[in-house]
Amino acid sequence: MFDRLARLADRRARVVAVVAALVFLVSGAIGGGVASHLDPFGAEDEASESIRADRKLTDAGYRPADTNILIKGVDVERSKADRAEVDQLRREILDRPGVQQVVGFSQTGSAAFVSREGDATFLAVSLDSTDDAVQQEAAAGLSEHFSERDDVLVGGLAMANEQVNNQVETDLRKAEMLAFPLLFLLSLFFFRSAVAALLPLLVGGLAILGTFLGLRIGAEIGSISLLSLNLVTGLGLGLAIDYSLFIVSRYREEIARTGPGLGAMTRTMNTAGRTVLFSSLTVAASMAALLIFPQRFLYSMGLGGTLVALLSAAVALIVLPAVLTMLGERVNSIAPRFLQRRADREAGSREDGFWYRLSQFVMKRPGPIAAITALGLLMLALPAFGMKFVPVDSKILPPGTSSRTVETVLDRDFPAGDSETIRVVVEGDRRTARTVGKTVARSDGIVSTRRPVDLGGGVSLIEADSVAGYMDGPTRNTVERLRETGFGVGVEVLVSGNTARFVDFQQSLLDHLPLAATIIVGATLLILFLFTGSVVLPVKSLLMNLLTLGAVFGILVLIFQEGHLSGPLDFVAPGGVDQTMPILILATTFGLSTDYAVFLLSRIKEARDSGHSDSESVALGLERTGRIVTVAALLFAIAIGAFATSDVVFVKELGVGTALAVLIDATIIRALLVPSLMKLLGSRNWWAPAPLRRLHDRWGLSEQASGQT
């Protein structure tokens, strides 16, 4: 396979380049505008009780008042003039397209619409469509209508979705403008050539646009989350950098040894190319594990991550070799002299390099270094035991955004902030609904209920107010008690509302996590076994990955839950971590850690197979990969870490968490834990039962050529 890829690059380089250019243009033309075709969150499990209840309400014609218009500086209880002003605003809102119903203090007489200080009110707006795009358009229209009034703010779910969409697109452009120049400059420092430094950006651009095209097609089939674009861009750039570093570094070494030609490309593809292929399969398998989750948000992340991993490898294995063949020795052109002098100094013996000396230092005292390193990572992981989860709502937006401001004011200044409306959907006749309503009213944690509303078709709605806010423990307990209540044989009662949806979301994640984790762990163990022929090394890598994850989760708690570094990172701590973040970081971390592990362990095994001792093999393997892995990790951290500049807290969490995982793995784990544990276990690192040894002899994966990458 790899010989054929080398021959393709040698004989059809221009054809490959032309096809790649056409694909680039088509992907850019169709996939470039993908953001406008994607949906915001997609956090629902369609099989959950709350979503089934909402579907019944929607089918019966019920439209929740999920859009809130905050009016400041009015006292609707005591001032007729203020009340008349608000009534006029209500009429204006009713005249807007997409609005079905508007209620406030004048229509209900409820104190829930009056702030505690009597200086503000709000109007609850029901939109007439259930389509997200139409709702967002209606909310945006309301916001535009009141844009010149500082005392009127539009909030609610549809407005938050619209503002998240706009913010994500803005942040994506900002991250790209920050990341691309930095990546080029650092690539220039590593490659010592402007031409070579541009190649990772070429690979990344093709892979990202190709993935955008795939997501655009996917959006025509089903719902795809907009937030997946951030992961695709960061992961695509990061993997493009990794794979380009592996292949370009090896190719430049080969042409320095024998000159450009088919032989140099064949050796490159059979070594670095093989590593790239199976590393990408590992990343893709880890990301594909997210496809089993029913939430379209996680599904979209899995789809985007899988596509960009496979496309990054495809471009690196097909297009990049063709470009290298056309460039030949010109790949080293446009090289600043001071960087070339540095490269000449580094081109000497590899047995006295920094990474070789470091590994020898570590292996002289493996026990203490392994213990101290593991203990340090465990200490960083301790805060993770107190991790709290928060939902994806308007609080992920920056302060000052209207939807976040409205939600904050309603929670803080209005009586409704002290309780949560629980919706109970009853299928049955009116008598059944009244009986259920009485049972709900007597339930612990319920302070008031409203009379059942007959929506027609045998569906009734009972709204009940809980004793606490929607994220508080008492309200969650109330939802669970209502669901456990027996309302009678043949009576279907479904509980919904914000709290119920949050509870269902968490439960759905827990239900699907074991299978996803099994896929991720299984793929990691399988790839590492096929590369090394050992059952010890894969298990050891698994344990080191868990240490990395624990440390990352602990740091995320310190930053996003407790608010440390909120000033430098420019955000308001939401008081917890998004509940999908551990799953996303689990998938990305295992895939990327295995990527680096494959690269390092294959070099160690190559040295060992060449007759070196176990300790010498570790030192040579680390020397031959240490600089490349470290630079790759640094560049990857910049690519994905650029999203730490996002004003959307969720995206910021993803950028910080993934960047931390990559840096910890490529430095602390690879430089300290790997050599120390390799030394402690010695030849036992390579143990495998006889049947598995025979399996590896037949199907194992390893680099076939000798030398360095």
Residues 366-401 pLDDT 10s: 999 999 999 999 999 999 999 999 887 788 888 889
CA distance 553 to 546: 10
CA distance 206 to 308: 10
If asked whether residues 590 and 622 sit together in one domain, one would say yes
3-state secondary structure of 12: coil
pLDDT digits (tens, 9 = 90+) for 163-213: 988 888 888 888 888 888 888 888 888 877 888 889 988 999 999 999 999
pLDDT digits (tens, 9 = 90+) for 93-145: 999 999 999 999 999 988 889 999 999 999 999 998 888 788 999 999 999 99
Determine contact, residues 538/525, Cβ cutoff 8 Å.
yes
DSSP category for residue 98: T
Is residue 115 in some structural domain? yes
If asked whether residues 523 and 542 sit together in one domain, one would say yes
If asked whether residues 661 and 528 sit together in one domain, one would say yes
| Domain final position from 444, 477, 496 | 496
Q: What does the pLDDT average to over 597-601? A: 82
pLDDT for residue 560 is more than 90 = yes
pLDDT digits (tens, 9 = 90+) for 569-584: 988 888 899 989 999 9
If asked whether residues 668 and 532 sit together in one domain, one would say yes
If asked whether residues 382 and 337 sit together in one domain, one would say no
Mean pLDDT (the chain, rounded):
89
For residue 149, the enclosing domain spans 64-129+131-163
At residue 338, the pLDDT reads: 58
Specify the CATH number for the domain of residue 93.
3.30.70.1320
Backbone φ and ψ of 128, nearest 5° = -85, -5
Is residue 447 in some structural domain? yes
What's the number of CA atoms in the CB half-sphere (13 Å) around residue 317? 23
Question: How many structural domains is the chain composed of?
Answer: 4
Is residue 408 in some structural domain? no
3-state secondary structure of 689: coil
Task: Identify the band that residue 489 occupies on the pLDDT scale cut at 50, 70 and 90.
Answer: low
pLDDT digits (tens, 9 = 90+) for 435-456: 999 999 999 999 989 999 999 8
3-class secondary structure per residue, 609-647: HCCCCHHHHHHHHHHHHHHHHHHHHHHHHHHHHHHHHCC
In the chain, the percentage of residues whose pLDDT exceeds 70 is 96
Its pTM stands at 0.86
Q: What does the pLDDT average to over 589-595? A: 84
> Which one, of 469, 459, 365, 464, lies nearest residue 412 by Cα?
469
If asked whether residues 600 and 667 sit together in one domain, one would say yes
pLDDT for residue 527 is more than 80 = yes
Determine contact, residues 5/273, Cβ cutoff 8 Å.
yes
If asked whether residues 487 and 506 sit together in one domain, one would say no
At residue 312, the pLDDT reads: 95
If asked whether residues 569 and 600 sit together in one domain, one would say yes
Task: Identify the band that residue 706 occupies on the pLDDT scale cut at 50, 70 and 90.
Answer: very low
Specify the CATH number for the domain of residue 597.
1.20.1640.10
Is residue 319 in some structural domain? yes
Is residue 201 in some structural domain? yes
Backbone φ and ψ of 452, nearest 5° = -60, 140
Helix 228-258 / helix 274-288 crossing angle, nearest 10 deg: 170
3-state secondary structure of 227: coil
At residue 238, the pLDDT reads: 87
- How many residues can be counted in the chain? 709
Q: What does the pLDDT average to over 251-272? A: 85
Buried-state track 87-110, b at ≥16 Cβ within 10 A, e below 16: bebbebbeebebbeebebbeeeee
At residue 340, the pLDDT reads: 58
At residue 376, the pLDDT reads: 97
Backbone φ and ψ of 484, nearest 5° = -85, -10
If asked whether residues 679 and 542 sit together in one domain, one would say yes
pLDDT digits (tens, 9 = 90+) for 306-365: 999 999 999 999 999 999 989 887 877 776 665 555 555 444 445 668 899 999 999 999
Is residue 177 in some structural domain? no
At residue 446, the pLDDT reads: 92
Is residue 235 in some structural domain? yes
Is residue 535 in some structural domain? yes
